[in-house]
Amino acid sequence: MLKIKNLTKSYGKRKILQDLNLHIQAGEIYGLLGPNGAGKTTTINIICNLLQADSGSIEINELPISEATKSWLGVAPQENLLYKNLSCQENLNFYAKIYGLTSKERRQKIEATLAAVNLLDRAKTPVENLSGGMKRRVNIAVALVHQPKLLILDEPTTGLDIETRYEIWELIQNLKKQGMTILLTTHLLDEAERLCQRIGILKEGKIISEGSLEELRKLIPAQEIVVIETEKEEEAIARANQLGFTHRRYGSDLTFWLPKHLELKEIIACFDGISLDSITRKSVELEHIYIEVTQSHNKI
């Protein structure tokens, strides 16, 4: 559905994108992760034909991006692009006109789109009277009103409470079930874990790792991660080194990568003679992968 090949973009001597290659398959949710300044926004702006790349190519459904592909693409930016004094229906009507929909098409698609985001009963409600989650759903509806094939969601749940996040996640999953192809950017790693079939980690304008969550887990040689609290951290690290366990710090947590699953009593036995305050067992999560990949890239 979306093919990006050897995309480059610089501002003066600062390279924003460096031979970026990305292929998103039809019907999948692809998560694009990366720190601020990695090039996510620049990539989106070039896909939307709002910014000119220095070199490289982008195709949507095998067609180079142009006015001809405009109707294939829907974009819901992080900041809601809504007129707060207009109703949901009026907002969608305004944007549908921009996409050139006829009066009859607008009536049909506005109703269908509001139903898809579960806001049909709020069609005539001014946006300013909606909750934050409802506003975000209207923002997504604006991107859907012309029935695009590819939807870009830029940080769709940033700033929302957990209940509202679940509502947006359910909406995104429903869109996928209807065949929508989605490019999702997010800083919420649990969001990417839950929603995305494949994930790309972008840093300094390059995809440095890509794959399904299971494929990315193979980057960390561990079957399990154990968090240990102890006043004798240096002794615990030395013992772990003797046993061949890799240790890492995630924030204030002292963790150890276990090459195989062990029973709790076996883990305790590994640190025999060292006073342990607590042991927490975790599976390898996207958080661990992301930190490892981005920090390792810094060392190259």
Q: What is the pLDDT of residues 247-265, one digit of tens each?
A: 999 888 999 999 999 999 9
Look over the chain and give the mean of its residue pLDDT values, rounded to a whole number.
92
Q: Is the pLDDT of residue 296 over 50?
A: yes
Mean pLDDT for the stretch of residues 142-148: 93
Q: What is the pLDDT of residue 2?
A: 95
Q: What is the pLDDT of residue 297?
A: 53
| Entry pTM | 0.90
pLDDT tens digit sequence for 35-62:
888 899 999 999 988 899 999 999 998 8
Q: Is the pLDDT of residue 242 over 60?
A: yes
pLDDT tens digit sequence for 154-187:
999 988 889 889 999 999 999 999 999 999 999 9
pLDDT tens digit sequence for 114-132:
999 999 999 999 999 999 8
Structure-token match 């030395």, residue found: 238
Considering only 14-18, 51-55, 65-69, which range has the smallest mean pLDDT?
Answer: 65-69
Q: What is the pLDDT of residue 298?
A: 54
Q: What is the pLDDT of residue 300?
A: 41
Considering the chain, what percentage of its residues have pLDDT values greater than 70? Answer: 99
- Dmax over CA atoms of the chain, in Å, equals 78
Q: What is the pLDDT of residue 158?
A: 86
Domains in the chain, CATH or no CATH each:
2-217 (3.40.50.300), 224-283 (3.30.70)
Which contacts qualify for 41-48: CB closer than 8 Å, 24 or more apart? 41/154, 42/9, 42/16, 42/17, 43/4, 43/7, 43/17, 43/202, 44/75, 44/152, 44/154, 44/183, 44/185, 46/7, 46/9, 46/17, 47/2, 47/4, 47/73, 47/152, 47/183, 48/73, 48/75, 48/152
Q: What is the pLDDT of residue 79?
A: 86
Mean pLDDT for the stretch of residues 23-40: 93
Q: What is the pLDDT of residue 209?
A: 94
pLDDT tens digit sequence for 186-216:
999 999 999 999 999 999 999 999 999 999 9
